[in-house]
């Protein structure tokens, strides 16, 4: 089991690397001013934004590895794991870190809009890459947050909360820009999705795991389920669940046409019961499998 730094409070990471703190529930760190630090694999019980020019190689996030270019942003939510295991070496990081406790944003606009900030469950092998203009924007917001936290004037909490909301909204814009570039090649996305489904059945996974899930397809393509869903809806105009269902129905048609019974087809497709196949088949085709078989026989004369 890898040794982890558990970050229960927004200031725990700052204390760990020797950075100054300014507020009980929010912490902003400028890596350039801290000097070289030891790596750490972190378990986050706080929200965190990392805006860096040099994420370390082999940076972990969840069960995968991040591929982070220069000028990248990584967002973490409570319950997630990220960072680089302490190997005894030190490195100079460049950029900013913002951490804040869940209670700091309780009942704020940020919390109310949290479901639409998909970058918190971003592609599990890729950071959000930023342009130079986007880096400039995030740097200014980080500087403004630190200035406000250091001043500690009346209404500081509300002002910092507004800055956090502003940063999150800008991140959504950055996400949309990068997301658009991913979805422009619709043919590539469709081919990769199809290959995942084909391999699933070729390897006989349906006999052990049942019908393919969106989660399986997303992980096979190194994406989080939410990000994968966004990509497929944008590229194909339908949800991944609908695409999987249509794929299974078309494959079921081929099995029925080859002479397999409804029960055999349901089993070979990974359905728990033949009735499940019948329900989905009728919804997609307009007739149940039994009627489809009759139509096939009639067509053959």
The full set of domains in the chain, from first to last, is 5-183 (2.60.120), 186-300 (1.10.10.60)
Cα separations in angstroms, 123 against 94, 98, 189: 23, 21, 14
What is the distance between the alpha carbons of residues 134 and 205, in angstroms, rounded to a whole number?
43
**Is the model's pLDDT at 164 over the cut of 70?**
yes
pTM equals 0.65
**Is the model's pLDDT at 30 over the cut of 60?**
yes
Measure the CA dihedral 178/179/180/184, to 10°: 110
> What percent of the chain has pLDDT above 70?
89
Q: Where residue 98 falls among pLDDT bands split at 50, 70, 90?
A: very high
Nearest to 74 by CA among 63, 84, 86, 82: 82
Nearest to 25 by CA among 99, 120, 110, 81: 99
Predicted pLDDT at 22: 96
Q: Where residue 292 falls among pLDDT bands split at 50, 70, 90?
A: very high
Alpha helices (H) in the chain, listed in sequence order: 12-17, 31-34, 109-112, 132-151, 156-183, 186-202, 206-209, 214-220, 225-236, 240-257, 262-269, 274-285, 289-300
What is the distance between the alpha carbons of residues 263 and 278, in angstroms, rounded to a whole number?
10
Q: Where residue 225 falls among pLDDT bands split at 50, 70, 90?
A: confident
Q: Where residue 134 falls among pLDDT bands split at 50, 70, 90?
A: very high
- Considering 79-88, 96-105, 237-246, the range whose residues carry the highest mean pLDDT is 96-105
Q: Where residue 184 falls among pLDDT bands split at 50, 70, 90?
A: low
Predicted pLDDT at 145: 98
Q: Where residue 202 falls among pLDDT bands split at 50, 70, 90?
A: very high
Q: Which of 22-26, 33-37, 118-122, 253-257 has the lowest mean pLDDT?
A: 118-122
3-state secondary structure 94-146: CEEEEEECHHHHCCCHHHHCHHHCHHHHCCCCECEECCHHHHHHHHHHHHHHH
Task: Tell me the pLDDT of the chain averaged across its residues.
Answer: 87
Predicted pLDDT at 119: 78
Q: Where residue 34 falls among pLDDT bands split at 50, 70, 90?
A: very high
What is the distance between the alpha carbons of residues 196 and 239, in angstroms, rounded to a whole number?
16
What is the distance between the alpha carbons of residues 204 and 98, in angstroms, rounded to a whole number?
46
What is the distance between the alpha carbons of residues 121 and 80, in angstroms, rounded to a whole number?
9
Cα separations in angstroms, 32 against 70, 240, 266, 268: 15, 43, 60, 58
**Is the model's pLDDT at 233 over the cut of 90?**
no
pLDDT in tens, 53-96: 776 665 655 444 555 557 888 888 898 888 888 888 898 999 99
Contact 217, 240 (CB under 8 A): yes
Cα separations in angstroms, 25 against 14, 59, 102, 134: 12, 26, 9, 26
Nearest to 88 by CA among 42, 54, 40: 40
Predicted pLDDT at 198: 93
**Is the model's pLDDT at 214 over the cut of 70?**
yes
DSSP state of 90: E
Q: Which helix (H) or strand (E) holds 84?
A: none
Predicted pLDDT at 59: 63
What's the mean pLDDT in 229-255?
90
Contact 209, 270 (CB under 8 A): yes
């Amino acid at each position: 089991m890898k040794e982890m730094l558990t970050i229960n409070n927004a200031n725990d990471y700052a204390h760990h690397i020797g950075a100054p703190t300014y507020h009980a529930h929010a912490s902003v760190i400028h890596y350039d001013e801290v000097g070289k630090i030891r790596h750490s694999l972190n378990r986050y019980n706080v929200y965190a934004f990392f805006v860096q020019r040099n994420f370390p190689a082999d940076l972990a996030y969840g069960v995968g590895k991040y591929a982070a270019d220069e000028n990248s942003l990584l967002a973490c939510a409570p319950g997630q794991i990220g960072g680089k295991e302490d190997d005894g070496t030190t490195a100079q990081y460049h950029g900013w870190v913002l951490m804040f406790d869940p209670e700091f944003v309780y009942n704020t606009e940020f919390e109310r809009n949290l479901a639409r900030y998909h970058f918190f469950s971003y592609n599990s092998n890729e950071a959000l890459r930023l342009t130079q203009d986007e880096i400039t924007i995030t740097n200014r917001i980080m500087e403004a947050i630190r200035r406000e936290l250091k001043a500690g004037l009346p209404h500081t909490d509300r002002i910092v909360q507004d800055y956090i909301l502003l940063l999150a909204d800008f991140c959504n814009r950055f996400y949309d820009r990068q997301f658009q570039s991913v979805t422009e090649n619709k043919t590539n996305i469709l081919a990769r999705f199809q290959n995942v489904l084909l391999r699933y059945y070729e390897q006989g996974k349906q006999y052990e795991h049942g019908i393919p899930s969106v989660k399986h397809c997303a992980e096979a393509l190194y994406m989080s389920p939410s990000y994968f869903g966004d990509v497929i809806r944008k590229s194909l105009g339908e949800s991944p669940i609908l695409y999987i269902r249509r794929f299974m129905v078309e494959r079921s048609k081929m099995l029925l046409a080859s002479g397999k019974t409804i029960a055999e087809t349901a089993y070979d497709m990974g359905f728990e019961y033949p009735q499940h196949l019948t329900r989905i088949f009728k919804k997609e085709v307009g007739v149940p499998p039994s009627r489809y078989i009759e139509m096939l026989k009639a067509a053959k004369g």
